[in-house]
Structure 1
Amino acid sequence: MMKPMLPSLTFELPVRPDWLYEVKYDGFRALLEWTINGITLTSRNGKPLSPQFPEIEEFLRTYEEQFKAYLPLQFDGELVSLENAYKANFSAIQVRGRLKAVKKISEQAMKSPCRLMVFDLLMIKGKPLLNQPYHKRKDKLINLFQQLELEVDSNPYNRQILQLVFPYEDFNDLWEKVVLYDGEGIIAKSRTSLWEEGKRTLQWLKYKNWKYVSCFVTSFDKTNGYFYVSVYKENDIHVVGQVLFGFKPEEKQALRQTIKQNIIREDGSLIFVNPAICLEVKYLELYDNQLREPHFDHFRFDLEPAECTYEQFMIQQKNLPADLAITHPNKPLWENQHIEKIDYIFYLREVSPFMLPFLENRLLTVIRYPHGMFGEAFYQKNCPDYAPEFIRTHSADGIDYILCNNLKTLVWLGNQLAIEFHVPFQTIHSKGPSEIVFDLDPPDQDSFHLAVKAALLIKEVLDQLNLIGFIKTSGNKGLQVYLPLPEGKFSYDDTRLFTSFMAEYLIAKDPDSFTIERMKKKRGKRLYVDYVQHGEGKTIVAPYSLRGNEAAGVATPLYWEEVDEKISPAAFNMENALKRLQKQGNPFRNYFQTKQIQPFGPILEILKKGQRKKG
């Protein structure tokens, strides 16, 4: 039985010359071996994993012909329930690992397959690679994936069960993504490290994405040395976990002594004290409502126990920027929706990985609701004088626009009760439009079916032209169809040819349903096809932005197969947007990759020829 090489935990930034960095996934360490005798998948303790996770072998068998030339083969990896490209769901893999019934295992393998995240190649074509430096093993691993025509980017939504853990040269670049996506951490590896069986090495370092909780000690277990830590939930003491590690010997001794001097009662092995001693404890996540891998960080002599609340714990648990205070967290924002300000901030935190790419380097206009839906709203383009130093701006047309390029800026704007986020059709670096957007705006919510009809007609044309479109709700009463474009290649005059062509097509197809009439009173009950709105300086609501309407609507990306007469704009609100992401993933996940392959140029040439003939 082969035992894997293990990384050492570090609390210091592992930034070193000639090191590489990988995402640390949270699951079961697994060695996969494929020989002429078959496929074996083994845990770090030598336990067979294939019966529990049959989807791994099933996937490999579909590539049997391609793999033949590389056998015998051995991978080192982590078996995970992949939540996003930078995070595995520890709770889900634990539940899956405890299943016994073959039928249930088979159902889960089909419904929610786990992935083997491969980070090392230990043998190929029967040749051991253990004594080759890590960077050479990694190069061979990447090359193998490419030869097999497997994707090299991690993706929880594709059907590829075997996935590559790609190396980064820049620690900060990867760390920013791990924090944004709430991943477990990073493994730093020396380029020259050999693979040493069973060794816990300093050539591989694990650096974790800790969360922090301000808490107080409530009891001490004499049998195992654990300190029980708690917070106030309303007026009750709520135990959140037990901590043993992270103390210096003198800190642990002082804490034990203080507890013994202040006993209020004993119960078996437990010594209880009144809330008085406050600590900062770091941990990975909540698992079964307890802190997972808690470590003492430091004493909080500046805190009173009353300040260690469950509400504050939840704020810290979301890994919000530590130096950013959330003011009036319990302020109600909607009259008919139970949404407080902190709920909205949490929404922005959860949705940030999917929303920020559409805000990045775009001149931002927000609509702020300082009193929620109970008061007046106002547009904000200029960055206010009181904005903190970390807010980046860009000047255009005499206006100092905010650039919302990171989580900290997004949360700050949320704390300012910026509810709607509107962006132009190009970035500050673009020479022309970065996309085409059709804004399909029916006269009222009861006419939403017209937006559906228009969207499906547009989709028919896109399919015929081999163009790739994406669709989202507006968050109000309409739909919006996006065509991503390569940067700097087309002008607004170019895209106007296409938008006007599509508008004319819709009207020719169904003049009773669609119009380009700008005067509302002349439109009647027809949907206005606003092709003029797609122009320089105009804006569109960003994907996943909330809207300031009664329903707390969200501009929600959709899958095309969802777009039919049955959908209702009222169904796409703040609560459902997060549920959709967790259950169905992000329909816009391939949006930016599409820019490079969008065949818009040839279509434009045909339209230009037609225009010249008319002229």
Structure 2
Amino acid sequence: MKPMLPTLTFDVPKGENWVYEVKYDGFRAILTWDNDITLISRNGKELLSLFPEIEQFLVENRSVFEPYLPFVLDGELVFLENRFKAGFDSIQVRGRMRSEQRIHQKAKASPCRLLIFDILQLKGKSLKEKKFIERKEILLNFFKTAGLPLEPDEKQHKLVQMIPAHKDFKKIWEKVILYDGEGIVAKQVNSHWTAGTRTREWIKNKNWKYVSCFISAYEKTNGYFYASVFKDGRPVPIGNFLFGLKPEEKNALFQIVKENKIEEDSEFIYVEPAICVELKYLEIYELQMREPHFERFRFDLMPEECTFEKFVQQQKNVPVDVEITHPDKPLWETPPIKKIDYIHYLREISPYFLPFLRDRLLTTIRYPHGIFGEAFFQKNRPDYTPEFIDTSESDGIYYIVCNDLKSLLWLGNQLAFEFHVPFQTIHSTGPSEIVFDLDPPSKDAFPLAIKAARLIKEVLDHLKLISFIKTSGNKGLQIYLPLPENRFSYEQTRMFTSFVADYLVSKDPDSFTVERMKKKRGKRLYVDYVQHAEGKTIIAPYSPRGNKNATIAAPLFWEEVNEKLTIDTFQITTMLKRLKTQGCPFQTFFQTKEIQSFEPVLEFLTNGAK
């Protein structure tokens, strides 16, 4: 069955007859479940062998889906980065995999999701003759009764999720821009589904990025113009374009290239950097523009002003009410990181970072001059804090509560490097997690932290407790045990942390201590169980640290905790690539909260104390 396709335009249709869906960059896929399950791409390729996590989810939940069989669903198979954006490069990598072992490793570490926006058959009955808005209502009811997510959610373990329709274009478009999504699809409410057609009843509008560049060559065989920017004083190609040029513009540009050529061969005419243009494109993929379109000539620019640095910076649309001041300000020296690089890190890391900041009283350490100057702690919100930022009062202090991307980017512009949070949310009556802070006496003693973590892991595994581990970003490790909300007190968790700490010291008193006074610790690792208390804070997962190496409080996979582990591996400059290639070690952190079996352990300790 060939899918119905939207038409690309640069103008969004408005009015009561239109609704809007977020467009996700992935593989268009039609899911059919009759006698067998198939997931077929737009080009007729079977996808389940490449994405076994989708089939596994469906089969494991067969009892949920069985009352609705057979059915046909239309959607997009994606690697979901946030609720409004899918990662194009990540889904491309998955699509090219051929090793069955590698496919299954990736499916487990970084599962893709099937986002459904239309329903073509339910319980064997065809729905294609129904109006789109009627099909959407049927789809919504299906998802509700089946207990499936009603909107995309990168943290949700249910991998089949719905793409909702929105009436307010402006509101959903602002979200797409803020979260760097691909765009939207406008759909006429009375439209009917027609296989294999590109229809104007579905209109796609994309979230274009803009770049200023210069023409470097013309390809004779297809009429494409090649665009470049300067990097370290040399021209670097960033792609080629043709779309968007009017016939007279194309002819004029060709004549200019021809008259000013510096070299010509059988394929190309080459020209010195001189003709500046502005192009729009979707994103950078392998250092090239995706879907570039001509926008306008830039006679006001010199080629030297078209740089690779500006090209990279212009790819992210920062919200208009978050002003990024002094974007070229150096913040770290090794590796060299400018303010705009830091802002980009915060933006890209936000889907992984924000869940650990949400609804928590935030203490930041700000570095007004980067790591080159003095820093200061900030608990009370400044007087100039924008209205869009949430705050919460505790003990007379009005804390910032960083609940969204806009707030995070504003804090980044204020040069908040370190984000410290308490062990509970503003809605919790007790700890939301237990954290063991393993603090060696020096960076050179980091192997002690590794040794302690592995010993604690043995205990936790024996007690059937699910744990997560991260670096502190400085010199230690921190072990997390998610807990259900509002079920335990700090007194109860202290009983457990004290028990584990005492066990560790008894196991190796020459390596570990619970001694609070530094001068009495010697060269032993301090197991800080006292720090886990109400009002105390810890560095949040994925937070940068204000040290010379720009390290991150980096979540780890437990198998990485061995003698090869080093803190300095995990930096602002490497973290995003790590996430894309290996996935997030804390991916199931919040799902674990409800299944963490802590009560039996607590009962054992309580009875033992008696």
TM exceeding 0.5: yes
Matches within 5 A, 1:28-427: 28-31=27-30, 33=32, 43-44=41-42, 47-50=43-46, 54-55=49-50, 60=55, 63=59, 73-79=71-77, 87-91=85-89, 104=98, 117-134=115-132, 137=135, 163-167=160-164, 182-189=180-187, 193-201=191-199, 203-215=201-213, 230-236=228-234, 238-243=236-241, 245=243, 265=260, 275=274, 279=278, 281-287=279-285, 289-296=287-294, 306-321=304-319, 324-327=323-326, 329=328, 331=330, 333-335=332-334, 337-385=335-383, 390-427=388-425
Deviations 1:109-142 (A, max 9, x none): 5565687655433234543221245466557667
1:556 positional shift: 0.8
Give me the whole-angstrom Cα distance separating, in 1, the residues matched to 2:591 and 2:172. Answer: 19
Structure 1 residue 472: Cα displacement: 0.9
Question: In the alignment, is the contact (CA less than 8 A) between 2:48 and 2:55 conserved in 1?
Answer: no
Letter of the 2:453 partner, please give it. Answer: A
Shift in alpha-carbon separation, 1:559–1:97, aligned structure 2, 3 A: closer
Q: Secondary structure at the match of 2:332?
A: coil
Cα contact 2:7–2:202 (8 A) shared by 1: yes
Alignment TM-score, normalising by the size of structure 1: 0.78
Q: Give, in angstroms, the shift of residue 557 of structure 1.
A: 0.6
Cα separation, 2, equivalents of 1:55 and 1:305: 44
What's the offset of the Cα at 1:233? 3.5
The CA deviation at 1:241 is: 4.2
Q: Secondary structure at the match of 2:500?
A: helix
In structure 1, what residue type is equivalent to 2:314? Q
CA deviation after TM superposition for structure 1 residue 585, in Å:
0.8
In structure 2, stretches of 5+ residues that fail to align are: none
Is 1:507–2:520 an aligned residue pair? no
Quote the residue 2:580 is aligned against: 582
3-state SS of 2:399 partner: strand
1:532 aligns to what SS in structure 2?
A: coil
Rate the CA distance shift 1:396–1:216 in 2: closer, same or farther, 3 A.
Answer: farther
* Residues 1:479 and 2:477 aligned together: yes
- 1:484-521 deviations in Å (ceiling 9; x for gaps): 23334444344333333433343344444333221112
3-state SS of the aligned residue for 1:347?
helix
Aligned AA for 1:496? R
- The 1:300–1:125 alpha-carbon spacing in structure 2 relative to 1, beyond 3 Å, is same
Paired letter, 1:517: E
Corresponding residue to 2:453 among 455, 465, 478: 455
**Which 10-residue stretch deviates more, 579-588 or 364-373?**
364-373
Inter-partner Cα distance in structure 1 for 2:379 and 2:53: 54
Structure 1 residues 453-462 or 475-484, which shifts more? 453-462
Partner Cα separation in structure 1 for residue 301 and residue 382 of structure 2 = 33
Structure 1 counterpart of 2:443, which letter? Q
Is this contact kept in 1: 2:5–2:199, CA < 8 A? yes
CA distance in 2, matches of 1:58, 1:305: 48
2:530 partner SS: helix
Matched, 1:534 2:532: yes
**What is residue 546 of structure 1 aligned with on the other side?**
544
Pick aligned residue for 1:498 from 490, 496, 499:
496
Change (3 A) 1:13 1:535: farther
SS at match of 2:330: coil
Structure 2 Cα separation of the partners of residues 562 and 296 of structure 1:
47
- Shift, 1:315, TM fit: 0.7
Greater shift after overlay, 497-506 or 140-149? 140-149
For 2:137 and 2:104, how far apart are their aligned partners in 1? Answer: 32
Q: Report the Cα distance in structure 1 between the residues aligned to 2:601 and 2:20, rounded to whole angstroms.
A: 43
Letter in 2 for 1:587: P
Pick closer, same or farther for the CA change 1:129–1:606 going to 2, 3 Å.
same
Amino acid aligned to 2:445:
S
Shift in alpha-carbon separation, 1:138–1:601, aligned structure 2, 3 A = farther
For residue 296 of structure 1, report the CA deviation from its aligned partner.
4.9
Distance in 2 between residues matched to 1:214 and 1:521, nearest whole Å = 59
User: Which moves more between the two structures, 587-596 or 316-325?
Assistant: 316-325
Distance (Å, rounded) in 2 between the aligned partners of 1:532 and 1:14: 60
Shift of the 396–284 alpha-carbon distance from structure 1 to 2, 3 Å rule, reads same
Provide the rounded CA distance (Å) in 1 between the counterparts of 2:317 and 2:105.
Answer: 30
Question: 1:7 is matched with which residue?
Answer: 6
Identity %: 57
Deviation of 1:316 (Å): 1.3
Unaligned runs of 5+ in 1: none
Q: What's the offset of the Cα at 1:260?
A: 6.7
Q: What displacement does 1:567 show?
A: 2.5
**RMSD of Structure 2 on Structure 1 (CA):** 4.6
State the distance in 1 between where 2:465 and 2:38 align: 44
Moved more, 110-119 or 367-376: 110-119
Q: CA deviation at 1:175?
A: 6.0
- CA displacement at 1:81 relative to structure 2: 6.2
**Distance (Å, rounded) in 1 between the aligned partners of 2:419 and 2:253:** 52
Report the secondary structure of 1:282's partner residue.
Answer: strand
Note if contact 2:19-2:165 (Cα within 8 Å) is conserved in structure 1.
yes
TM-aligned CA deviation for residue 324 of structure 1: 3.0
TM-score, length of structure 2 as denominator length: 0.79
In structure 1, the partner of 2:558 is 560
Q: CA deviation at 1:314?
A: 0.6
TM-fit CA distance, 1:461? 3.9
Determine the C-alpha separation between the residues in 1 that align with 2:51 and 2:497.
46
Q: In the TM superposition, what whole-angstrom CA distance separates every residue of 1:185-213 from its partner, at most 9, and x where no partner exists?
A: 34455666532233444554434332222
CA contact (8 A) 2:48 2:54 kept: no
- Measure how far apart 1:569 and its partner are: 2.9
In structure 2, what is the Cα distance between the partners aligned to 1:143 and 1:527?
A: 56
Q: Which residue of structure 2 lines up, in the alignment, with residue 573 of structure 1?
A: 571
In structure 2, the residue matched to 1:517 is 515
